[in-house]
Amino acid sequence: MAATLEEEEPKGSDVVYDVCCSICEDDGIHKEGLFNCQKCSKYFCDGCLLTHNKFLKDHSVTAKGGGDNWAVTKTDDDTLELCDEHTTEKLTMFCEDDEKLLCHVCLLRNHKQCSHVALLTDKVKSNSQSLGIAQMKTSINTLMERLEEMVKIGEQSVMSLQTSYEKVLEEIVDVRRLINDNLDRLQQNTERKLEELNCTLKISLESIRKHCIEFISKINGYSIIDIGKKSPERLFITYRKCLDQTTSADLFLRKATTNVAIDFHHNKDLEQFLASCTEFGSITSRKAVSHHVVDPNTVVSIKDKSQYNVQTATDKGPCIIAGICELSNGEFLIADNKYKCVKLLDRAYNLKEQMQLPFYPKAMCNLSINEVALIVSDGASVNEIHFLRVDKGMIVKFNTLKLNHLCYGIVIHQGYLFVTSGTAVCQYTMDGRLVKKLYEDKSEGCT
């Protein structure tokens, strides 16, 4: 029996082919597509071609490089029309309600209730006007610049993070050193008091011992043993002195303390306080733009208030601040409505840079760690959103959107711009396309 062993290419091969075998690719195996069947719209390797020809003998197959029938395609073109969620399905529809491309699985699972779903072929026919490719290219270029800058900022942020990490470590060691110094001080004070008390008690005991020796010496000096040989006068004197000494000695012994010891009662408040502590201090992160969810009913209160002068030499009166945004490095951008400009302040609130605006700034919000969106309006026909960036201490405008309604307020949420017109709240994409009007009230001139 003869057998032919064919070495199979590994599934994890790093080789990139212009065209892969369609059958093998479905199984996660990357093998080069050497043959093409136009009727099947598939490519085959040697092994899969044998199976194809066995069941579909009437199909015409073209070898790679074998004529005009061989379609040269790129992998990117193959995947472009595939659904991102259902990777084997082709995009065939567009949901105008959600502004999303759909495959038939998307339609069945998530968009049954949508009332405006169109086939891509119909959508292309109905949208015969320009798709705004030039504007899209400009937006993409701007976005790419922002992304590349964010990569650089990210690298700088990693270095800054490491610096802050090392600084906090040093602060923790400093706190420990301070606590050790205070504990050393407490220990020294306690030991000093112990030494003082010990010396005092030693002196007291030594004094008692000396007094006892003195009493013994005096009483022995009266020669009580030979008292019978003394004259009556000397006998009386000896008796009286012995009586006085014994009385004094007895009174001294009653008052004297011989059993002396030292006890230590530690500070329980200090012990309980240290036991209640779980750490030297709180560890938190500091972000330039916070997207965390907060309680909308939280009461906002003023903890501190200070005044700073941000006027320039040409300003003839107080400024009117229409907006203020903090940057990642602690500096501030403020929008001055009265003098139609944006001012950059350093951490000490000193004026660092200024950019003049064509009209009055109305409101401002953070886009990223060093970018803001600013409404500029003349209150009538000119209503624009200026995108500003602070780069190396300079204020740079990198994009402008023109809107066809009055603009008073602006915020960004989940990648969308929300702009108030005085009577409505409108949702826009970052490139200026109106998504929807969320709310409108025309009962008065400005609601």
Average pLDDT in the 424-433 region? 91
pLDDT of 281 strictly over 80:
yes
Model pTM above 0.85: no
pLDDT value for 8: 43
pLDDT of 193 strictly over 60:
yes
Instruction: Identify whether the C-beta of residue 234 lies closer than 8 Å to the C-beta of residue 226.
Output: no
Phi–psi pair at 326, nearest 5 degrees: -95, 140
Instruction: Give, in order, the Cα–Cα distances in Å from 79 to each of 75, 198, 213.
Output: 6, 90, 112
Average pLDDT, the chain: 83
Average pLDDT in the 18-27 region? 81
Q: Percent of the chain at pLDDT above 90?
A: 27
The CATH fold of domain 87-126: Double Stranded RNA Binding Domain (3.30.160)
Residue 312's CB is within 10 A of a number of other CB atoms, namely: 13
The label of the residue with tokens 């074998």 reads 66
Element (H, E) at 140: helix 133-221
pLDDT of 13 strictly over 70:
no
pLDDT of 297 strictly over 80:
no
Instruction: Identify whether the C-beta of residue 332 lies closer than 8 Å to the C-beta of residue 349.
Output: yes
Q: What residue ranges do the domains of the chain occupy?
A: 22-77, 87-126, 155-275, 321-440
pLDDT value for 365: 95
Q: Cβ neighbours of residue 383 under 8 Å, at least 6 residues apart? A: 375, 376, 377, 402, 403, 404, 405, 406, 407
pLDDT value for 16: 62
pLDDT value for 259: 78
Does the domain made of 321-440 have the CATH classification 2.130.10.10?
yes
pLDDT value for 74: 45
pLDDT digits (tens, 9 = 90+) for 196-219: 999 999 998 898 889 889 888 888
Q: Grade residue 75 by pLDDT with cuts at 50, 70 and 90.
A: very low
Sheet of 100-102: strand order equals 100-102, 93-95, 117-119
Average pLDDT in the 68-77 region? 51
Q: Percent of the chain at pLDDT above 70?
A: 87
Cα gap 380→406, rounded to integer Å: 7
pLDDT digits (tens, 9 = 90+) for 318-353: 889 999 999 888 889 999 999 999 999 988 889 999
Residue/partner pairs of 44-52 with CB below 8 Å, 24 or more apart: 45/21, 47/6, 48/21, 48/22, 48/23, 48/24, 51/23
pLDDT of 298 strictly over 90:
no
Q: Grade residue 69 by pLDDT with cuts at 50, 70 and 90.
A: low
Average pLDDT in the 141-160 region? 83
Instruction: Identify whether the C-beta of residue 262 lies closer than 8 Å to the C-beta of residue 195.
Output: no
Average pLDDT in the 81-88 region? 87
pLDDT value for 286: 67
pLDDT value for 383: 92
pLDDT of 126 strictly over 80:
no
DSSP-assigned beta bridge partners for residue 386: 374, 400
